[in-house]
Amino acid sequence: MNSINWTESAYADLTDLIDYFREQGEPDIGKMLVAKIHKATGTLRTFSHAGRAGLLKGTRELVIPHVPYFLVYQVQQDVVDVLRVMHTSKLWAGIIEED
């Protein structure tokens, strides 16, 4: 079974998501989205290559079911590093390269 490591950038993405929906007066939506994102990472514990090949070499992308978000991650032996949590409307390749 793989372990999941959330990078600072990925954790900041989750925090930003929660803050955004809190500011919109919909804190429960933010909490629900984060719960779905965390649930989806459970798949990566067993099937680390469940996501599609990513835009950048060495990355993979896991689409979160029923929400407009996906994880950008890397697999190193038995560790899955979640690099970012991205909205599907964003062009993310440049964001990852800047980190």
From first to last of its 99 residues, the chain has per-residue pLDDT tens of 999 999 999 999 999 999 999 999 999 999 999 999 999 999 999 999 999 999 889 999 999 999 999 999 999 999 999 999 999 887 655 555 555
Look up the CATH number of domain 3-98.
3.30.2310.20
Which residue has 């899955």 as its token pair? 80
Q: Phi first, then psi: what are they for 25, rounded to 5°?
A: 80, 20
What pLDDT is stored for residue 56 in this prediction?
Answer: 87
pTM: 0.86
Q: Phi first, then psi: what are they for 31, rounded to 5°?
A: -65, -40
User: How many Cβ atoms are within 10 Å of 88's Cβ, its own excluded?
Assistant: 11
User: What is the rounded CA–CA span in Å between residue 82 and residue 20?
Assistant: 21
User: What is the rounded CA–CA span in Å between residue 83 and residue 12?
Assistant: 10
The domains of the chain are located at 3-98
Residue 32 gets which letter from DSSP?
H
